[in-house]
Amino acid sequence: MKERIERRGALIALAAVVILGCGRGTQPSQDVSPGVTPVPSADVAATAAVTEYARPAKPSRQYRIGVAIPHLSNPHYVGQAYGYIDEAQALGAQVTLLEAGGYQYLDKQVAQVEDLIASKVDAIILAAISGPGTVSAVEEAVAAGIPVINVNVMTDSDQVVARIRSDDDVIGRMQADFMGDRLKGAGNVVMLRGAPGTSWAEIRGNAFRKQLAAKYPSVKILGEQYSQSTPADGLRLMEDFLQTFPQITGVYNGADSTAVGAAQAIASAGKAGSIVITATDFQPDTEKFIREGVITASVLQQTVTMGRWGVRAAINHLEKKQVPPVLFTGLVLATKENVGTLDLSTVRAPDGWKPPSR
C-alpha cells in the first residue's frame, strides 16, 4: 500500500474562558497523581518522575492566557481543555481557548496564534499541529514579549519557556514491550502511526519500532500508515491492512482514535481477540473495546494534568518564578484486567462536562 498523508477579529475573554472555533485561516519526567501508578516499560531508561507540579499562590493580577490546540473532537483534548479552564478559574485567570478543527489545519492554528499576539495576551499555551510548521508563530510571539508554553504536542522552536507532556518515547516502548510479550516474541505487526508532522506520531512510532527490533526481533513490522487521528481513518486503513496482510497478529496505534476504527474492522472480520491491539489514550469507546477484549491495552496519558500544569507554568513564569524546562506527566497501562480499578480524574473531563462556547 502507498503511504497516505493528509495533510482570526477581536478575541473576547469571559471571566474564565472563551472557546473559539477555527480562526483565520526535543523533549523529555512523569507526574504520579493519587491512584495512578506508573507502569514502567522493561529496560526503560528512567527519566526522573515528577510527582507534582504544585498550584502556585493566587497571582498578583488577573492574567490573560491564550491556548491554541489542534481540535476538540477527541476526548483527549476535551480533557486537556477542562484542565486549562478549571485551573484558570482556580487561579483567577482568563483563558481564551482556540481550536483549529483538526491536525490538517496548520494555517488556522498559526493564524490563531497571530490573533492571540494581536490581542496582547500575557502568555500563550500551544499544543502544536506541526513541529516545524509552528516555529515562526512561536518566534513571533516571543518577539512580541509573549512567553509560550508548549503542551502535549511539540513545536520545533527552542524559544518556548517549558514543555509539558507525556514522554512519547516511553509510550512507544511500553506498547512494544506489551506487544512483544503478548505475542510471545514472534508475530506480524502493522502500525497506524497517527497524524503526520506531529511529534507524538513520530516519537512513539519510532520508539515502538526500535524497542521491537532490540528486544523482539522475531516480531516483524509488515507495514505502517499515517493518517488523521479518527476512527474512520483507522477503520479504512485496518480494512486495507487485513486485505493485504492476512497474517497480521498485532496492531500498533499511536492514538486510540485510530485504534477504535481498527478494532471495528478487526471485529467485523471475525478476528476480535485474536489480534493484539495496543493504543494510547482512553476515550469511552476505547474503554468499551478494552472491557470486551477487542483492544488489548492502551497507555493512558494524564490530559487534565497537562492542561493544569500548562496554566501553572504560564502563571509561574509571569510571576517571575522558575519553571522547569520539561515536565512529563504520568502514564499507566490499561488492560482488561485493571480497567475497572483506574482513577480517571486526571485522564478525562468529568462526565457531562463540555467546553463552554460563545
Q: Report pLDDT digits (tens) over 296-318.
A: 999 999 999 999 999 999 999 99
Residue 320: partners with Cβ closer than 8 Å, 6 or more residues away: none
Q: What is the model's pLDDT at position 22? A: 39
Q: What is the mean pLDDT of residues 255-267?
A: 97
Find the range with the poorest average confidence among 176-180, 198-202, 204-208.
198-202
Kindly state the average pLDDT of the residues 261-279: 97
**Which whole number is the average pLDDT over 319-338?**
95
The pLDDT assigned to 54 comes to 94
> Phi then psi for 50, rounded to 5 degrees?
-100, 110
The residue among 82, 95, 84 whose CA lies nearest residue 164 is: 84
8: pLDDT confidence band, cut at 50, 70 and 90? Answer: very low
Give the Cα separation of 333 and 226 in Å (integer). 23
* Dihedral angle sign, alpha carbons of residues 173, 174, 178, 184: positive
Of 32-41, 127-136, 137-146, give the lowest mean pLDDT range: 32-41
More confident residue, 129 or 8: 129
Query: DSSP assignment, residue 299?
Result: E
- Of 225, 299, 301, nearest to 265 by C-alpha is 225
Q: Give me the pLDDT at residue 318, please.
A: 98
What proportion of the chain, given as a percentage, has pLDDT over 70?
85
Name the strand (E) or helix (H) holding 306. helix 303-318
29 pLDDT higher than 80: no
DSSP class of residue 222 equals: E
Measured in whole angstroms, how far is the alpha carbon of residue 265 from the centre of its chain? 24
Give me the mean pLDDT over the 263-273 stretch. 97
* Identity at 221, one-letter amino acid code: I
What is the distance between the alpha carbons of residues 356 and 166, in angstroms, rounded to a whole number? 26
Cell of 241: 491492512
Sign of CA dihedral 24, 26, 32, 35: positive
Asked if 303 and 76 touch (Cβ cutoff 8 Å), the reply is yes
Torsion of CA 160, 165, 170, 172, to 10 degrees: -100
DSSP string of 138-176, one letter each residue: HHHHHHTT--EEEESS--S-S--SEEEE--HHHHHHHHH
Predicted pLDDT at 31: 31
- What pLDDT is recorded for position 229? 87
| pLDDT, average across residues 194-221 | 96
Query: pLDDT confidence of 51, banded at 50, 70, 90?
Result: low
One-letter amino acid of 43: D
Q: Specify the pTM.
A: 0.83
Residue 150 has pLDDT above 90, yes or no: yes
Q: pLDDT class for 357, splitting at 50, 70, 90?
A: low
Give the pLDDT mean for 23-48. Answer: 32
Residue 197 pLDDT grade (very low, low, confident, very high; cuts 50, 70, 90)? confident
Q: What does the alpha-carbon distance between residue 58 and residue 232 come to, in Å, rounded to a whole number? A: 44
Cα(45)–Cα(59) distance, integer angstroms? 37
CB atoms within 10 A of CB 317: 18
Using the predicted structure, report yes or no on whether residue 242 has a pLDDT greater than 90. yes
Cell numbers given for 173? 516502548
* Predicted pLDDT of residue 34: 29
β-bridge pairing 219-226 and 94-99 = unpaired
